[in-house]
Amino acid sequence: MAASDLLAREARPSEAMVLDALGGVLCRCTGYRKIVEAVLDVAGTDSAPMPGSGAAVGHGSPNSTASPS
């Protein structure tokens, strides 16, 4: 609904506008980036690729909560 509302107000939103519109609505832990990309695709707006795009969640990222050995 948030994406639909945004696209009704702005035919070609920027990535920042999409992130703002979806910011309080979606959990960022799973498919968040793909949803943002889908909204931009529907609007015909290009999106910048995220580092590590397509990798498994958390894969390749150091665990900041791990205790030192």
pLDDT of residue 59: 47
**Region 5-15: what's the mean pLDDT?**
93
Tabulate helix, strand, coil % of the chain (nearest 5). Answer: 40, 0, 60
In angstroms, the Cα distances linking 62 to 49, 52, 57, 66 are 20, 13, 12, 9
Model pTM score: 0.59
Rounded to an integer, what distance in angstroms lies between the CA atom of residue 57 and that of residue 52?
9
DSSP 14: -
Whether the predicted pLDDT of 7 surpasses 70:
yes
Rounded to an integer, what distance in angstroms lies between the CA atom of residue 16 and that of residue 14?
5
For the stretch 11-48, pLDDT in tens is: 999 999 999 998 887 776 777 888 889 999 999 887 66
